[in-house]
Structure 1
Amino acid sequence: MKKILLFSILSGSSLAINAATDFDNAMLKAGIVDEQYQVVNDRELNEVLRGVTNKVAHMFPSKIDAYTTILSVNVSRFGIYANYQLDEVETKKDAEYVLYNFGLAQDYKNYLCSSEFANSETFKKLNAKFNVNFLNSESSVIYTLKIPMSSCR
């Protein structure tokens, strides 16, 4: 059953508006959420999300473009936490400049909001967020972009 859940979660995105996602349907079928997508089995939900994190861990670090590397992703009931490194961005001021003056913050939001998790009724009920940390070359977090999944439309 867990393999079916992981496959359902990791397979293609369903971007249906105002409808349950494949993730939600898998959680409902497994008895992890009820018909209103409220979590009724915390332990099993945590296990499934830990499995998702473990399943994608081998993909990181991964170069996204010439200047961006995604270092890690963690999926939990509280949201999705990702660590990125932008080359030659060493301070909070540098990160803010790059993110907001070049529109990268909006690009990140658009990308994350197009994911299955962002459209999940289960994650919306959990009030989950995307937390994107930007790290400098010394692996220190210099800026965090927080995007509530409820702000995704």
Structure 2
Amino acid sequence: MYCCGAAMIGAIGSLRKHSVFVHNVPLLYCPVCHEIEVHPAVKEEFELVVQYAVEDGVKETTLRDKIDPELIAEWKEYCVSFQEADLEPILREQIDYSLDLLSATKQLGDAEWGEELKNRLKVLTGRLKRLEEQKESSK
């Protein structure tokens, strides 16, 4: 899935909707524009959990008690990457993907798309640099 043109990354996280904080939600997020969406495979289930929680006055709930490898494999089909632990390999994968596309823009002569990709690369490399600095300073 794509938002601003960058490939969305999958992850399991927590999301607040209305007055309810829902944990263990499969999410798609963009490393460039930071758009976050509930994964399409569980969107209906997520909406129902939120609706029931609001009706029952519950402020915090869990979408799934157990996230097994089969579910993650299914969810990965909707996104280029799926973050299970370290963000660094995903950022590197996104940079490689964007560089491949940048090469295609040169072959197609699409300068506008090339500029968008250069901006995306600037954001991604900045995040990777900050992540590397954080890792280095925590040693």
TM-score where L is the length of structure 1: 0.24
Q: Greater helix percent: which structure?
A: 2
TM-score where L is the length of structure 2: 0.25
The structure that has the greater radius of gyration is 2
